[in-house]
Structure 1
Amino acid sequence: MQGWTIVFDLDGTLVDTAPDLAEATNHVLSTLGLDRVSELEIRPFVGHGALAMIDGAVKAHGRKLSERELHDLFEVFIVYYTAHLADYSVPYPHVIAALDGLKAEGATLAVCTNKMELQARAVLEAMKLDHYFSAVTGRDSLGAYKPDPLHLTGTIARAGGAPQTSIMVGDSETDIKTAKAARVPIVAVSFGYSVDPVASFGPDAIIDDYRQLPGALEKFFGTAVST
């Protein structure tokens, strides 16, 4: 695996962040005098960033926000979320063992997320995962964000890699579209925030548990990968 770059999505892929994102979204709703929405209602919007979560939650109450109102509420969201981003979030089972195994095999690891970069780095630090990654990019890092393939290829470049020796791991249609547009193979996790089964979006491989990641990667590397 020496010379290969593995790029992970963050929310719904490495870390289950939905509980804290839902709390931040509900805080925004409270400032508008609106009732809370459930975490399940938030999950479909997680991969699209905070603006989409706020917009979706408000629309669930039958209201529509102007662009200015949405961005003002985004600031409210960021302030609250920054102070509470790791209250309930946890890495998915066996993530740490998988990352340890990939690093031991010589892979370079990176994160490509539609979260703002500072929040992404803060989550990784809170989860004690930050030291694994050579590059972390968010929606504000490169002037493009998923599903724009430039977000992924830019992340790979920052990590010192090349698309032809890279693989993405994600949980959503957005991740799969991004990887396909960048011509990078993608392994989809089945336990993330996708409303529809990830198989319906045509990923190159699917795993139900991080213990399956080494086997999924074998087809791309051509050699066994240990954990």
Structure 2
Amino acid sequence: MRTVVFDLDGTLADTSGDLIAAANACFRDMGAGDLLDAATDAGIALRGGKRMLTEGLTRLGRMDAAVVEQYYPMLLEAYGDAIAEHTVFYPGALDAVGELSARGYGVGICTNKPEALAEQLLQALGARAAFGALVGADTLPVRKPDPAPLMETARRLGGDPARTVLIGDSDTDRNTARAAGVPSVLVTFGPSGEDMAALEPEALLHDFADLPDLVQALIGRNS
């Protein structure tokens, strides 16, 4: 089986609002108030919890790796308590997933979000059943850009890891696909969209409506 594996944050869904809210809860606990703004810091949010904590502490002039590690569990807890207040799928994302499944591709998710939180989010959004496999940051001993999580996702879908394509939104996704020796498609509608062309993926995606035919061109029909 040919497989299509998606990154989650910044690729399928804009999760930045809920991530920033969780980070700001940590900053308030530090007595610093809200340091990140959903309107301007979405790109930072989609790089993960530790990246947000690092940015906020840097803005305060108090960057300390130990404080980042101290507050990271609190950030995850706050995020889990309000994981889908602002998160939305990008337009056409689930339609594209459904069309890929209808064409016979295995469809899964490989994310650097902790697996339990990714499961929780997809359940909260009513979309877990659309994906045949989910591999998170802590599913294996390694995470993206190591190729192992991508390859494991393809295997869990019943596919050949060499006959897959990774849909993502970052250099991490580009490097994961390169390490696995498979094509990558990077979306241009996220906060860092204008930077994707410089990463030289096999294709850029401007509209999810184009994805099924793009996948077919890259890895062929599942037949």
Confirm or deny a common fold (TM above 0.5).
yes
| Worse overlay, 169-178 or 34-43 | 34-43
Q: TM-score, normalising length from structure 2? A: 0.92
Q: Partners of 2:10 and 2:153 in 1: how far apart?
A: 19
Distance 1:33 1:172 in 2: 32
Deviation at 1:207, TM superposition (A): 1.1
Q: How does 1:83-94 map to 2 (within 5 A)?
A: 83-94=81-92
Residues 47 and 178 of structure 1: is their aligned pair in 2 closer, same or farther, counting only changes over 3 Å?
farther
In structure 1, distance between residues paired with 2:20 and 2:213: 33
For 2:100, give the aligned amino acid.
L
Q: Structure 1: which 4+ aligned runs deviate by more than 4 Å?
A: none
Deviation at 1:128, TM superposition (A): 1.4
Deviation at 1:195, TM superposition (A): 6.7
Indicate which of 5, 10, 13 corresponds to 1:12: 10
1:73 maps to which of 55, 58, 71: 71
Give the match for residue 215 of structure 1. 213
Aligned residue in 2 for 1:164: 162
Against the structure 1 CA distance between its residues 47 and 159, is the aligned structure 2 distance closer, same or farther, given a 3 Å change threshold? farther
Shift of 1:60: 2.2
What residue number does 1:39 align with? Answer: 38
Q: Partner residue of 2:171?
A: 173
Q: CA deviation at 1:40?
A: 5.1
CA contact (8 A) 2:188 2:194 kept: no
Question: Residue by residue, what CA displacement relative to the aligned partner does 1:153-184 show, whole Å, maximum 9, x if unpaired?
Answer: 22222322222211110011111111111111
Residue deviations 1:91-138, cap 9 Å, x none? Answer: 110112111111111111111111111111111111111001121111
Which residue among 114, 122, 132 is the counterpart of 2:112? 114
Residue type matched to 1:162 in 2? D
Greater alpha carbon shift after TM alignment, 148-157 vs 87-96: 148-157
Aligned: 1:99 with 2:104: no
Letter in 1 for 2:63: K
Which one-letter code corresponds to 2:48 in the other structure?
G
C-alpha root-mean-square deviation of aligned residues, in Å?
Answer: 1.8
- Please state whether the residue corresponding to 1:191 is helix, strand or coil: coil
Q: Is the 8 A contact 2:16 2:46 kept in 1?
A: no
Distance in structure 2 (CA, Å) of the matches to 1:121 and 1:223: 29
Amino acid at match of 2:90: Y
Residue 56 of structure 1 deviates from its aligned partner by 2.0
The aligned residue for residue 63 of structure 1 is: 62
SS of residue paired to 1:109: strand
Report the 3-state secondary structure (helix = DSSP H, G, I; strand = E; otherwise coil) of the residue aligned with 2:94.
Answer: helix
TM-score (norm: length of structure 1): 0.91
The aligned length equals: 221
1:54 matched to 2:53? The reply is: yes
Gap regions ≥5 residues in structure 2? none
What are the residue-to-residue correspondences of 1:114-153 with 2, within 5 Å?
A: 114-153=112-151
Is contact 1:41–1:57 with CA below 8 Å preserved after alignment?
no
Question: Structure 2 vs 1, CA of residues 220 and 120 (structure 1 numbering), >3 Å: closer, same or farther?
Answer: same
Q: Letter of the aligned partner of 1:18 in structure 2?
A: S
How far off is 1:148 after superposition?
1.4
Query: 8 Å contact 2:20–2:45 — kept in the other structure?
Result: no
User: Aligned AA for 2:127?
Assistant: L
Offset, 1:48: 3.7
